[in-house]
Amino acid sequence: MTLAERLDRLPLSPFHRRLTVSSGLGWMFDALDSGLVSFVLAVLAREWSLTPSQTGWIGSAGMAGMLVGAIVSGTLADRWGRRAVFLATLVLFSIATGLCGLATGFFSLLALRCLVGFGLGGELPVAAALVSEFAPSAHRGRLVVLLESFWAVGWAAAALIAWLFIPAYGWRAAFFLGALPALYTIHLRRSVPESPRFLLAQGRVAEAGAIVAGIERECGVEPPAPGDAAPEAAPAAAPAGFAALWSGERARRTLMLWIVWFAMVYSYYGIFIWLPTILVASGHTVVKSFEYVLIITAAQIPGYFTAAWVVDRAGRKPTLAVFLAGCAGACWGFGFHAASDTAIVAWGCLVSFFNLGAWGVLYTWTPESYPTALRARGAGWAAGVGRIGGILAPLVIGAILGSRPGANGVVFGHVAALVLIAAAASVILGAETRGASLESAAAQSEV
């Protein structure tokens, strides 16, 4: 039995839960920063007399950094390891977030948001690859979706901080709080091991074997005797960089992932970066707008848990398609039927539920589509292309609102159309990977 097979056969254990929580808290801190900027922009638009276009540029600056960070960090994680890059990007975005609290004007905040985005964009796909490579195949979808669910917790925490702190202490205090996650890396260095699959791909068989044996003992499974362990094959030659993403049948998977990532990032950041500002512009007070967004954000959590329950039972393709279709319908309802306060909260909660459930499935499916030597790079490029949507969405929506104030139907209607295109792409181009080992799931894209 190979080391990869030994990892896949393990039962769910405290180790897997600890790894998911430890990585998930880093994910939560990412969301805390992304959420804080959406609330800060609602205040800065007034305090600094920002135009809708300038507000959009600040939102897009973080996405530009995330684009570069995802691609660079994914490539580095396939060379230097998942753990090292995960820790480095967490420190980078935490420190840069704190520095945002010292920004003196539009251009200084713009530059700092680019730096924050670099760290954020690098951490997310690397953390997903790390958890995927440890998770038993029967439970991989659930664990990665639960990892992603920490995003909802972080965004809810951002809404809570904005509601409690910004009106009382100002927007700078919110950014200073966002610097605290840098201290969390002290814990992560002790609790998160390097991926054995990465070590195997590097030919470091002894190190990988020691980590797997330690996990087996923690799970109550006796490691095989040295003479009984299956010999590990020599690592295959690493695929040739970017071109390998588009070789053979793998090109079909890459195309699907890029389309869905673009639509998902566009929809999420287009909606949630602008939502507090849209509500304030509609006549609600800052405190009331933050309160509504806090309620709407809380609906992300059951969306994740529902996806986690379904994804290993129904499969990646049908689960993602249903959640994307639900998100499109909710966006349409918010744009054209959210006239009262009750309707705003109800339609907003549905958008949150379906959008974030879809995100959990997407983060599960992405690393499963590539072999170990290409996994972080493939996930990084998919996330990077998605960030193009995140750059465009705040600018496009800012332009729409600048030329047609209150045009919520146009804003949410075009987002709904884009999400439907992503749903179609997932059905037509996607390959089901439910229950397969990472090695066999990735092999489906090698045919």
115 against 406, higher pLDDT = 115
The answer, yes or no, to whether residue 318 has pLDDT greater than 90, is: yes
- Tokens at 178, concatenated: 């966002």
pLDDT winner (highest mean) among 203-212, 216-225, 327-336: 327-336
Query: For residue 237, what pLDDT is reported?
Result: 55
Query: For residue 252, what pLDDT is reported?
Result: 93
Do residues 403 and 311 lie in contact, with contact meaning Cβ atoms separated by under 8 Å?
no
Percentage of residues of the chain with pLDDT beyond 70: 94
Query: For residue 187, what pLDDT is reported?
Result: 74
Q: Per-residue confidence at 413, pLDDT binned at 50, 70, 90?
A: very high
Convert the pLDDT of each residue in 339-392 to its tens digit. 888 898 999 999 999 999 999 899 899 999 888 888 888 999 999 999 899 888
Entry pTM: 0.80
Mean of the pLDDT values across residues 206-231?
A: 81
Query: For residue 445, what pLDDT is reported?
Result: 46
Contacts (Cβ under 8 Å, ≥6 apart) of 233:
2
Distance, CA of 105 to CA of 381 (rounded, Å): 32
The answer, yes or no, to whether residue 317 has pLDDT greater than 90, is: yes
Query: For residue 124, what pLDDT is reported?
Result: 81
- Tokens at 421, concatenated: 């295109």
Mean of the pLDDT values across residues 25-43?
A: 81
Do residues 348 and 276 lie in contact, with contact meaning Cβ atoms separated by under 8 Å?
no
235 against 145, higher pLDDT = 145
Query: For residue 359, what pLDDT is reported?
Result: 92
- What are the structural domains, with CATH classification, of the chain? 3-234+241-443 (1.20.1250.20)
The answer, yes or no, to whether residue 330 has pLDDT greater than 80, is: yes
Q: Per-residue confidence at 243, pLDDT binned at 50, 70, 90?
A: confident
Q: Which amino acid is at 223?
A: P
Do residues 413 and 336 lie in contact, with contact meaning Cβ atoms separated by under 8 Å?
yes
Neighbour-count burial of 186, counting CB atoms closer than 10 A to its CB (0-12 exposed, 13-18 middle, 19+ buried): exposed
Query: For residue 388, what pLDDT is reported?
Result: 92
Lowest-confidence range among 48-52, 113-117, 425-429, 435-439?
435-439
Q: Which contacts (CB < 8 Å, 24+ apart) does range 215-219 have?
A: 215/7, 215/10, 215/13, 215/15, 215/134, 216/6, 216/10, 218/13, 218/14, 218/15, 219/10, 219/11, 219/13, 219/15
The answer, yes or no, to whether residue 285 has pLDDT greater than 60, is: yes
The answer, yes or no, to whether residue 405 has pLDDT greater than 70, is: no
Query: For residue 229, what pLDDT is reported?
Result: 59
The answer, yes or no, to whether residue 233 has pLDDT greater than 70, is: no
Phi then psi dihedrals of residue 92, to 5 deg: -60, -50
Query: For residue 446, what pLDDT is reported?
Result: 45
| Residue located via tokens 């109800």 | 346
Mean of the pLDDT values across residues 218-229?
A: 76
Distance, CA of 336 to CA of 158 (rounded, Å): 28
Convert the pLDDT of each residue in 96-135 to its tens digit. 989 999 998 899 999 999 999 898 888 888 888 888 899 9
Convert the pLDDT of each residue in 70-94 to its tens digit. 889 988 988 888 988 988 888 888 8
Distance, CA of 436 to CA of 36 (rounded, Å): 38
Query: For residue 275, what pLDDT is reported?
Result: 83
In eight-state DSSP terms, residue 274 is T
310 against 403, higher pLDDT = 310
Query: What's the whole-number average pLDDT of the chain?
Result: 86
Query: For residue 290, what pLDDT is reported?
Result: 76
Number of C-beta neighbours around residue 430 at 10 A: 21
